[in-house]
Structure 1
Amino acid sequence: MSHEQHQQLLETLHECMAACNHCYDACLNEENVNMMAPCIRLDRECADICHYLESAITRNSPFVAQLASVCAEICSACGEECKKHEHEHCQQCADACFQCAEACKSIA
C-alpha cells in the first residue's frame, strides 16, 4: 500500500508522537521525576516507534505490517503506564497512545 492509502494512520502516528514528546517533557518537570521514570521511558519508546513507522510507511517499506504490530504493542504499554498518572498530559498521552495502538492493529 502506498503512503497515500495510510494517510489517517500517518496522522494518528504523528499525533501520538507529539503527545508522547509533550508528556515526556512535562514528566521531566514533575516534582517527583523518579516516580515518573517508567512513564518517561515509555514516552520515548513510543515516540520513537511512531516516528519510525511513519517513515517506513512513507518509503513503502515491506515491513510495515510487522512494525505496526510492534508499534501497537508499545503504544498500548505507554498508554497503560500514562493512564496510571493523574496529570493531564499523561491522560492525554494515554488517549493518543490507545488510539494509535488500535490504528496500528488494523494494518498489522
Structure 2
Amino acid sequence: MNLKYEECIKACLECLKACNTCFDACLQEDDVKMMAECIRLDRACADICAFAIQAMTSNNPFVKEICQLCAEICDRCAEECAKHDHEHCQNCAEACRKCAEVCHEMSL
C-alpha cells in the first residue's frame, strides 16, 4: 500500500464507521422523519469513503478526483450531523470534518 495514502485511508475508515453508526442510531430515533436528511447523507458519505479507500488501495488513476468528491460529501454530512444534538451525530460530524480535511489535502 502506498504510504502517502495511509493517513487518508485511516480517516476514511473512521468516517465510514462513524457514518454507519450514526445511520443505524438515527433509524432508532423517535422522530425518524426529522433524521431523514442525516440518514441519507450518512449513507452517501459511507459509500464514498468506502470507494475512496478502494481507489487508494488499488492505485486508481482518479484518486485525486475521488478524494475531492469524498471531501465535499464529508463536508455536507458533517454540516447536517452537526445540526442534531445526538451524540452519534456529533461524533459523526467530527469524523466527517477530519476526513474532509485529509481528503481535501489528498486531492491537491
Q: Structures share a fold, TM > 0.5?
A: yes
Q: CA RMSD in A?
A: 0.7
- 1:46 corresponding residue in structure 2: 45
| 8 Å Cα contact 1:82-1:93 kept in structure 2 | yes
Unmatched 5+ stretches in structure 1 = none
Superposed structure 1 runs of 4+ greater than 6 Å apart: none
Is this contact kept in 2: 1:3–1:59, CA < 8 A?
no
TM-score of the two chains, using structure 2 as the length reference: 0.97
Q: State how far apart, in whole Å, the 2-side matches of 1:46 and 1:3 are.
A: 23
Report the 3-state secondary structure (helix = DSSP H, G, I; strand = E; otherwise coil) of the residue aligned with 2:84.
Answer: coil
Residue in 2 that maps onto 1:60:
59
| Alpha-carbon distance, 1:3 to partner | 2.7
Partner of 2:105: 106
SS of 1:80's partner is: helix
The two structures have a TM-score, normalised by structure 1, of 0.97
Structure 2: gaps of 5 or more residues? none
1:1-108, aligned counterparts within 5 Å? 3-108=2-107
Q: Deviations over 1:45-98 (max 9, x none)?
A: 000000000000000000000001100000000000000000000000000000
* Paired residue total: 107
- Displacement, 1:6? 1.0
